[in-house]
Amino acid sequence: MKDDVWKFKLWWAWQDREHEEWLTAQSRRGLHLRSVSMLGLLHRFDVGAPGEISYRWDFQSDGGKRDYRQLFSDAGWSLVGDIPGGWLCWRKAAPAGQQAEIFTDRVSLRNKYRALLTTFGITTLPLLSLTLVDRGLWQDLAAGGKPAIAAGSIIAMGLGCFAIGAYASLRIWRRMQEI
């Protein structure tokens, strides 16, 4: 029998709760999260006895300072995922039929989503403005030929990233309003 299992799971920032539920369902099947890849898409699971384990994603733009991590550890949570950019995945055994929570109040949970919105704004708005105001890109696009293909590709990627960021921000905003 294999000691570990790898699974691919695509998820977005606004799908944190659904992703937590998926991880919990894996533990009920005997697959317990050991680690997550840098992009959070590949999940490495230890194979073991089925159990009731709560998984919670938190977002800390500073990566979670030592005091923050110690607070979680003191409360019985184990860090099983640390994705560059601020995502941290915590797990904790829970009584059957119950789920452990890292946020005990609505304000803290809203602050998580506010931090995400701020991060999306900081990363997507400058990308859009650089794409739209870079005169060289537009001159290359107008010139035709190979420079136009490269410039068009850069502009399309910039606009695409902005569109994804704007959509993500809208979904996160809606998630925050549900709290």
Widest pairwise Cα distance in the chain: 66
| Domain membership of residue 17 as a residue range | 4-93
Report the pLDDT value the prediction gives residue 137, as an integer from 0 to 100: 65
Q: List, as one string, the DSSP characters of 1-39.
A: --SEEEEE----GGGHHHHHHHHHHHHHTTEEEEEE-TT
Q: Which residues pair with 7 in a beta bridge?
A: 43
- Positions in the chain whose pLDDT score sits under 70: 1-2, 63, 123-135, 137-138, 140-142, 145-147
In a domain, 165, yes or no: yes
pTM: 0.78
Contacts of 139 (CB under 8 A, 6+ apart): none
Q: What is the pLDDT of residue 10?
A: 93
Query: Is 19 a domain residue?
Result: yes
Is residue 100 situated within a structural domain? Answer: no
DSSP letter for each residue of 47-83: E-S---EEEEEEE-TT---HHHHHHHHHTT-EEEEEE
Q: Do 170 and 111 have their domain in common?
A: yes
| Of 51, 69, 93, the domain-final residue | 93
For the stretch 81-126, pLDDT in tens is 998 888 999 999 988 777 889 988 899 888 888 888 887 777 666 6
Domain final residue, candidates 38, 62, 93: 93
Same domain, 79 and 15: yes
Overall number of domains in the chain? 2
Q: Is 112 inside any structural domain?
A: yes
99 in a structural domain: no
What is the 8-class DSSP label of residue 128?
H
Q: Please, which residues bridge with residue 83 across strands?
A: 87
Same domain, 10 and 76: yes
Do residue 44 and residue 85 come from a single domain?
yes
